[in-house]
Amino acid sequence: MASPPPHVSIIVPTFNEAHTVAELTRRLDSALAGMAWEVIFVDDDSPDGTAAAVKSLASADTRVRCIRRVNRRGLSGACIEGILSSAAPIVAVMDGDLQHDETILPGMIARLDRDECDIVVGSRLVEGGSSADGFTASRAFASNFAIRMAGMLVGSGVTDLTSGYFAMKREPFEAMAPRLTTSGFKILLDVLATAQPPLRASEAGYRFRSRFAGESKFDARAMGDFVGLIVHKATGGAIPPRFVMFIAVGGFGVAVHLLTLRLAMDLGVENFTLAQSIATVVAMTSNFIVNNTLTYADCKLKGAKALVGLLQFYAVCGVGAIANVGVASWMFGMDQAWWVAALAGVVMGSVWNYTMSSMFVWGKKD
Ligand code: GDD
Ligand code: MN
C-alpha cells in the first residue's frame, strides 16, 4: 500500500540555497510531525547545485521533490509552478534560506483545516511578528512604503503584503492561476489582488530570522517589479508590469541625455546637431544596459548576444523616434495643442520601443 497522500505541500523556491535545503527539510520534519506533508523545491538551475542537493535528499525521502527549471528565472513563476504541481488540499510557500519560522506552520494549517479562512499569511507586522535582525533600516523603509501602496490596492486586511510566507487552500489558487503574473517577486500581492471572490485572509506573526548563508535577491529590481505589479493590477491588467519598468528606465534615459548634451557642449562640441547625436547614442546605450540588467533581468543578454541586442535596440529606437515625430506632426497638423501632439508622439514612441524591443531584442511575448 502506498503511503498516504500529502495533506499539505510546502513549496520552496530556491536560487543558490544548496547549503540550507537539508536543514530546512529536517526542520519541517520536526515541525510537521504527525502530518502527511511533502516539500517541493522549485530551483531555477542554481549554479551552486541546489537541485542536485535536493535530489540527493529526495532519493532517501519520498516526501522531498524537486522541480528543476532551466533557462528561466523568477520567484513568482517558481512558486506558481510548484503549487500547480501539488495535489494536496493545502499548499504553503516559504523561503529556502531558513529566514521563515517553520514552527508556526501547524497553526497556520489548522486555521485552514477549520475553515476559518482561505489564506494565512506569515507576518512580521502583527502581534508576535518582527524582523528585528532580518532587515536593514533602509530595507524596512522600502518594504513599509511598498506595503502601504499595495494595501490601498487590495484592501484584504493583510498588513504584511510583501511576505513570501503563506499557506492557502489549493482550490482557489488553481482557479486564479491563469491570471497570475509569472515575473517578479510579489506572488502574495498578486494572489490577493486576483482572487475572485476575494480570499478570506488572516495573519500569523513570526520573527523574520537573519540569513545565515548566501545572499538576498530582494533588491532594487524587486522593488521595481512590485510597483509594476501594482500599476498592472490598478489598470485592470491593461499595462504590463514590465512596461512600467521600461518607462521608468526611459525617464532615466532623458536625464542621461540632457546631462551628456550639457557635458558635450561644455567640452567644446560646438555643433549642436553633433552634440545632440552624441547624447542620443549615449542615452540609448545606457537605456539598453539598464533595461538589460533590470527590466529584462530574467532574459539578460550576455557577451556577443548583448552586442547584437544593442544594435537591434538602436534600430528599434530609431524607428520609434520616427514614429514619435510622425504622430506628433500629424496631430499638430490636426490642430491639436503642441503639448498634446508632443505627448501623443512620446506615447506612440514608447509603446513602439517597448513592444518591439521586448519581441525582437529580448525575445519576450509579455
Ligand atoms: N526559483 C527561484 N527563482 N527562487 C528564487 C529566485 C528565483 O529567481 N530568487 C530568489 N529565490 C528564492 C531564494 O533562494 C529564497 O529561497 C527565496 O526565493 C527568497 O529570496 P531571498 O533572496 O532570500 O529574499 P529576501 O529574504 O530578501 O526577501 C524576503 O522578504 C521579502 C519581503 O520583503 C522573502 O520572503 C521575499 O519573498 C519577501 O518578499
Ligand atoms: Mn531570504
How many Cα atoms are found within 13 Å in the side-chain-facing hemisphere of 142? 14
Q: Among the atoms of ligand 1, which is closest to the Cα of residue 165?
A: 35
Question: How high does pLDDT run on average in the chain?
Answer: 88
Determine the straight-line distance between the first and last CA of the chain, rounded to whole angstroms. Answer: 46
Range with the largest mean pLDDT of 19-33, 157-171, 191-205, 289-303: 19-33
DSSP-derived secondary structure for 78-89: HHHHHHHT--SS
Give the pLDDT score at 19: 95
Residue 210 CA to ligand 2 centre (angstroms)? 8
16-69 pLDDT, tens digit each? 999 999 999 999 999 999 999 999 999 999 999 999 999 999 999 999 999 999
Residue 366 confidence (pLDDT) above 60 = no
> Are 249 and 290 a contacting pair, CB within 8 Å?
yes
Domain segments of the chain: what residues? 8-234, 241-361
- Give me the phi and psi of 157, to 5 degrees please: 85, -5
Q: Among the atoms of ligand 1, which is closest to the Cα of residue 96?
A: 16
Give the pLDDT score at 334: 85
> Rounded to an integer, what distance in angstroms lies between the CA atom of residue 89 and that of residue 4?
13
281-295 pLDDT, tens digit each? 999 999 999 999 989
Residue 118 CA to ligand 1 centre (angstroms)? 23
> Are 74 and 182 a contacting pair, CB within 8 Å?
yes
Q: Among the atoms of ligand 1, which is closest to the Cα of residue 16?
A: 14
Give the pLDDT score at 213: 64
Q: Helix, strand or coil for residue 38?
A: strand
What is each CA distance from 64 to 15, 26, 56, 67, 96, in whole angstroms? 17, 11, 10, 10, 13
Residue 75 CA to ligand 1 centre (angstroms)? 7
Higher pLDDT, residue 266 or 131: 266
> Are 25 and 64 a contacting pair, CB within 8 Å?
yes
Other C-beta atoms lying within 10 Å of the C-beta of residue 250: 19
Give the pLDDT score at 186: 81
336-353 pLDDT, tens digit each? 888 888 888 888 899 999
Which has the minimum average pLDDT: 164-173, 218-227, 288-297?
218-227
4-13 pLDDT, tens digit each? 899 999 999 9
Give the pLDDT score at 84: 98
Give the pLDDT score at 253: 92
What is each CA distance from 185 to 56, 162, 275, in whole angstroms? 28, 9, 40
Contacts of 178 (CB under 8 A, 6+ apart): none
Domain 8-234 CATH (choose: 3.30.420.10, 3.30.360.10, 3.40.1280.10, 3.90.550.10): 3.90.550.10
Query: For 176-181, what is the mean pLDDT?
Result: 93
109-148 pLDDT, tens digit each? 999 999 999 999 998 877 666 665 545 566 666 666 666 6
> Rounded to an integer, what distance in angstroms lies between the CA atom of residue 255 and that of residue 260?
9
257: left (phi over 0), alpha (psi -120 to 50) or beta: alpha
Give the pLDDT score at 327: 87
The helix (run of H) or strand (run of E) holding residue 123 is strand 119-123
Give the pLDDT score at 104: 96
Higher pLDDT, residue 267 or 141: 267
Q: Is the CB of 97 under 6 A from ligand 1?
A: yes
pLDDT-based confidence at residue 149 (cuts at 50, 70, 90): low
Other C-beta atoms lying within 10 Å of the C-beta of residue 206: 26
> Rounded to an integer, what distance in angstroms lies between the CA atom of residue 233 and that of residue 223?
16
Residue 232 CA to ligand 1 centre (angstroms)? 21
> Rounded to an integer, what distance in angstroms lies between the CA atom of residue 25 and that of residue 66?
12
Contacts of 75 (CB under 8 A, 6+ apart): 13, 164, 184, 185, 187, 217
Ligand with the closest atom to the CA of 67: 1
Which residue carries 477549520 as its cell?
Answer: 114
Give the pLDDT score at 16: 95
Give the pLDDT score at 306: 95
Higher pLDDT, residue 105 or 347: 105
Which of 11, 218, 300 has most ligand 1 atoms within 8 Å of CB, for mutation? 218
Residue 194 confidence (pLDDT) above 60 = yes
Higher pLDDT, residue 142 or 277: 277
Give the pLDDT score at 147: 67
> Rounded to an integer, what distance in angstroms lies between the CA atom of residue 263 and that of residue 274?
13
